[in-house]
Amino acid sequence: MKPLRKIRLGIVGCGIAARELHLPALKNLSHLFEITAVTSRTRSHAEEFAKMVGNPAVFDSYEELLESGLVDAVDLTLPVELNLPFIEKALRKGVHVICEKPISTDVETGKKVVELSEKSEKTVYIAENFRHVPAFWKAKELVESGAIGDPVFMNWQIWVGMDENNKYVHTDWRKKPKHVGGFLSDGGVHHAAAMRLILGEIEWISAVAKDLSPLLGGMDFLSSIFEFENGTVGNYTISYSLKGNERFEITGTKGKISISWDKIVLNEEEMKVPQENSYQKEFEDFYQVVAEGKPNDLGSPVQALKDLAFIEACVRSAGNKVFVSSLL
């Protein structure tokens, strides 16, 4: 059997996502990727990261890394506002990109990422790991098979309850967010990706967004009502500051499914869904896109832009308020 050609990968940004999410996945995929170069805003962070992966070359700047000839692709785990310029620089040097979500700070600049990707022969892959979660694919399968009849209503309530002990709270770029809605888009594009995967495109949205916690940067509470193109009505409510139990349900004309990470309950029947490392699955998919010519469906910048557009529409929504007093 012909050995697989490894992709030489440069890690750009050595923060939480690179260390705790991407690195474990890449260590399991050492037959597909070789980390050959590292850079970060602080050189000591890059050097620490390099020691964790076998001492690849450490560069003082992103530009030096791209000029080195040591990488076929870069893995960008950066503050969101840097995605666009860093993607552009990589493509100019003929280097493939896998980039953490959201695609950009807002839809307008996200469109520029899409445009760059469409003009380039190199791959731009937005790393949305929720598009690789088996439970969401199982839910999609059940809905499309008619297991609950015609879907009528989707309800997803998420209560994250971040406090001062949460590591993400203390990230500088999250404390003073330049991306629309702050945590609402940082985490919310995940949820948009899952909802759209299961039920398709979203036609219209009305929402209320609030800033409840002085600890978190930007808005941290959102409640929305919307309609999918297939007619399903949705409610997505999330709070990053309030604690509670998550609930994800889809009700149809012939039943209901409740979705969890490791199981789905169809009416009263519980179906176990094996959990997989969704970060590893996205890197495997990225490899197949770059090295084997697989269509870039799951890391598509267009899909990532639609995820962000959902959240930006929520944040911009005026709520279409009708005051009860006006009727009395």
Binding residues for NADP(+): 16-17, 40-42, 45, 78, 100-101, 129, 173-174, 279
Residue 318's H or E segment, with its range, is none
Instruction: Let me know: does 142 contact 266? Beta carbons within 8 Å.
Output: yes
| Helix, strand or coil, per DSSP, at residue 185 | helix
Burial class (CB in 10 A: 0-12, 13-18, 19+), 3: exposed
Active-site residue (options: 101, 122, 138, 306): 101
175 is catalytic: no
Residue 306's H or E segment, with its range, is helix 301-316
Distance CA 108, CA 253 (A): 39
For residue 311, what are the CA distances in angstroms to 207, 294, 325? 10, 29, 30
List, as residue ranges, the binding site.
16-17, 40-42, 45, 78, 100-101, 129, 173-174, 279
For residue 105, what are the CA distances in angstroms to 184, 216, 228? 12, 17, 24
Please give the backbone phi and psi of residue 279, each rounded to the nearest 5 degrees, phi first: -70, -40
Distance CA 38, CA 163 (A): 31
For residue 299, what are the CA distances in angstroms to 31, 109, 142? 21, 18, 23
Burial class (CB in 10 A: 0-12, 13-18, 19+), 113: buried
Strand 96-100 and strand 73-76: pairing?
parallel
DSSP state of 60: S
As annotated, the active-site residues are 101
